[in-house]
Amino acid sequence: MQNVFLDNTAVEIHREIQTGNIRHVVFDFDGTISLIRDGWQNVMVPMMVECLQTETDTTESQEQLEALVVEFVDRLTGKQTIYQMMQLSEEIEKRGGTPKEPLAYKDEYNRRLLPVVEERIAGLAAGTLPADPLRVPMSLEFLQSLREMEIHCYLASGTDVEFVKNEASLLGVADYFDGGIYGALREYKKFSKAMIIQKIITDFQLSRNELLIVGDGYVEIENAKTVGAIAVGVASVEDNMYNMNADKRERLIRAGADIIIFDFREGKQLLDYLFNL
């Protein structure tokens, strides 16, 4: 099917879906609702390149290592951060180094990302920084509309759950997630977006078209398609110096997104369509 735009919008419909039945919506956080961690790749990539240079005897150039890191970081985005760190450990081992525990790399990454994120968080907490520019445009209004329609909303993120809860509350969106806020755990096997999605389906005995997944990562879009839920891909713009995710829209479509939006500025039209209003 050729893509079709909803009337007078940039909302792309890629697949015929059965609309009018949605009762539960699962949202991704970073890049879908929050921009607080925007630019995280600018921290993760150099850290990993540095680890590969200092913890192995590799003769690969800076550029080669950077290309390697960019590829796997990009590929694993959307899963919990620990998976990117597990890959780093593996790459260090492949090059004859003795890697630390992946969790140690993750802690180091969080430590380096903190100043960037902290500045935004501190500004938000102090009220010197407005929340609006740190939210994906009109995401708050989209959540408000869902609340008015008594649709249950959930947040599921690959970022550590304590960060997600704090950042969601600073952005003024936490209260909209009546279904709960979920995120990465130190015992990483106890959480995945797929697990949350499966639990909602089981708890409420949902049929496919009663569940909607909204996210900017292909992980959650694939999760949605695995269970036959409706998937809205958010091709939001990211700030990173490696041109990562430049083909975000195409990747979301490949992952199986039924609908593509760039943010929620046309959220009203999207809701009219999804709920047959």
Q: Which residues bind Mg ion (CB under 5 A)?
A: 28, 30-31, 216-217
Least distance (Å) from Mg ion to the CB of residue 249? 14
Least distance (Å) from Mg ion to the CB of residue 143? 16
CB nearer to Mg ion: give 56 or 236: 236
Least distance (Å) from Mg ion to the CB of residue 181? 14
* Helix (H), strand (E) at residue 235: none
- Number of Cβ within 10 Å of residue 202's Cβ equals 9
Hey, is 215 helix, strand or coil? strand
- Number of Cβ within 10 Å of residue 99's Cβ equals 20
Q: For the CA atoms of 212, 6, 29, 48, what is the dihedral angle to 10 degrees?
A: 120
CB nearer to Mg ion: give 94 or 254: 254
Least distance (Å) from Mg ion to the CB of residue 230? 18
CB nearer to Mg ion: give 216 or 258: 216
If phi > 0 it is left, if psi is from -120 to 50 it is alpha, else beta; for residue 207 that is beta
CB nearer to Mg ion: give 28 or 258: 28
What is the C-alpha separation between 192 and 179, in angstroms, rounded?
A: 16
